[in-house]
């Protein structure tokens, strides 16, 4: 059923945190067995990431402009 008492663990705001102990334990087991875990987070990115997202958006727009220019010039290799 799990580690006794883990389901009652809470943070300073009273939120349950036992599931995090389980995640940590499982991660350690994976790593001990040669598995490299990867986490994917869905949802709205945190506000701290806005600067990076704007930078990425600008780079993408510049790359798109370069691609369109290459296509207009008939340079399909550069357009790739």
Encode pLDDT of 14-66 as tens digits: 888 888 888 899 999 999 999 999 988 889 988 999 999 999 999 999 999 99
Task: State which H helix or E strand residue 16 sits in.
Answer: none
- By residue range, what is the domain housing residue 17? 1-39
pLDDT at 9: 84
- Class of residue 65 by CB neighbours under 10 A (exposed 0-12, middle 13-18, buried 19+): exposed
Q: What is the pTM of this model?
A: 0.47
* Spatial contact of 9 and 16, defined as CB atoms under 8 Å apart: yes
pLDDT at 5: 64
Indicate whether 1 and 33 sit together in one domain: yes
Q: How many domains does the chain have?
A: 2
Indicate whether 7 and 26 sit together in one domain: yes
């Amino acid at each position: 059923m799990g580690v006794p008492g883990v389901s009652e663990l809470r943070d300073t705001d009273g939120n349950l945190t036992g599931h995090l102990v389980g995640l940590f334990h499982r991660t350690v087991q994976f790593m001990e067995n040669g598995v490299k875990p990867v986490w994917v987070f869905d949802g709205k990115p945190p506000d701290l990431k806005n600067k990076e997202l704007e930078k990425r958006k600008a780079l993408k727009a510049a790359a798109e402009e370069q691609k369109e220019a290459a296509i207009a010039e008939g340079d399909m290799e550069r357009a790739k």
